[in-house]
Amino acid sequence: MERVMARELEVGYVPPAVITLTINNSRPIELGAFVRAFTSIAKEYQDSVDDSPDFEGVAEIYVKEVRSGSIIADLWPVVASTVPIIAGHAEQVFLAVEFVEKWKDRITKLAAGIVPENFSRSDLKTFSGAVEAIARDPEASSTLEVATFEDGRRKIKAAFKFRANEAKAVERTIEGEYQRLEAERDDTHLRVLMIFTRSDIGDAPKDKRSGERVVIPQISDKDLPIMYASDLAEQRVKHEIREADDNIYKKGFSVDVSVLYRNSRPIVYRILSVHEVVDLPDEE
């Protein structure tokens, strides 16, 4: 595969299509944002090839030339199939055009506050990197276009341009989606040991924090507040607090629990069910 691609990059080779990225900037671009502008294109191009029903192969983006003035970079897309043979001229052009159109569709939707269907966290990271440099410069813009060379003449097949205000709108949409995903995130653990560090004889509204705190060593050594997902789970625990003769702090509860997070930090345990209550061994 590498030998096949290398053959296409020999001196004198002209690819069927050239993708040109132009960044018109009025301020210096931070190096990391500059790199991410390119790596986001490379990743999305590979994903675009992977999604194509007509071709299966490995896609690479090579930087052929970066010209002065604004940042103008000619990118050579090379696609090698797993056979291995190089994709034909028409296929190379088609895949490059399809990629730019997909790029346009995704950034346009994000700028309008719409998260494309089946967008993953990886996709969010890709497009955050794609717009970062432009969003930081109020006078900046980015243009991505694909062109062919026919009889020595450059012919643009597809192009898309976005500006700083659109880049900022994309960032707002991505940040909102991250927050939505974070709010919905939970991890479910089955039959883990829960130990009380603070108890409360009072009832707690379902799915609201109680005044109790527990430690679940299998998940974290830090105690966290709890909430009850069902009346049955709460009744089983409250029975041990209110009516059992033994000290609640010397009891262990085998529970199914989901962990709720905020900004990747666990904030509360949600008790789904209680399977068993056991005596904890005496400390030596």
Asked if the model's pLDDT at residue 216 lies above 50, the reply is yes
Write down the pLDDT at residue 79. 59
Tell how far CA 98 is from the center of its chain.
23
pLDDT bracket for residue 95 (50, 70, 90): confident
> Helix (H, G, I), strand (E, B), or coil: what is residue 84?
coil
Distance CA 94, CA 31 (A): 32
What's the mean pLDDT in 190-213?
88
Is residue 224 within 8 Å of residue 265, measured between CB atoms?
A: no
Q: Which residue has the higher pLDDT, 149 or 245?
A: 149
Q: Lowest mean pLDDT of 15-19, 44-48, 88-92, name the range.
A: 88-92
Distance CA 125, CA 46 (A): 15
Instruction: Report whether the peptide linkage leading into residue 16 is cis, meaning its omega lies within 30 degrees of zero.
Output: no
What's the mean pLDDT in 89-104?
87
Write down the pLDDT at residue 4. 41
- Residue located via tokens 């990059």: 9
Q: Which amino acid is at 216?
A: I
Distance CA 11, CA 48 (A): 28
> Helix (H, G, I), strand (E, B), or coil: what is residue 284?
coil
- Residue located via tokens 């009346």: 231
Asked if the model's pLDDT at residue 80 lies above 60, the reply is no
Asked if the model's pLDDT at residue 5 lies above 90, the reply is no
Kindly list the structural domains of the chain, giving each domain's residue range(s) and its CATH number in brackets, ordered by start.
2-184 (no CATH), 186-279 (2.40.50)
- Residue located via tokens 């301020």: 27
Write down the pLDDT at residue 180. 78
Asked if the model's pLDDT at residue 158 lies above 70, the reply is yes
> Helix (H, G, I), strand (E, B), or coil: what is residue 15?
coil
Distance CA 167, CA 174 (A): 11
Q: Lowest mean pLDDT of 35-49, 171-185, 217-231, 250-264, name the range.
A: 171-185
Q: Which residue has the higher pLDDT, 153 or 172?
A: 172
Write down the pLDDT at residue 12. 53
Distance CA 137, CA 167 (A): 10
pLDDT bracket for residue 118 (50, 70, 90): confident
Phi, psi of 217 (to 5 degrees): -55, -30
> Helix (H, G, I), strand (E, B), or coil: what is residue 82?
coil
What's the mean pLDDT in 210-228?
92
Is residue 49 within 8 Å of residue 97, measured between CB atoms?
A: no
Asked if the model's pLDDT at residue 187 lies above 50, the reply is yes
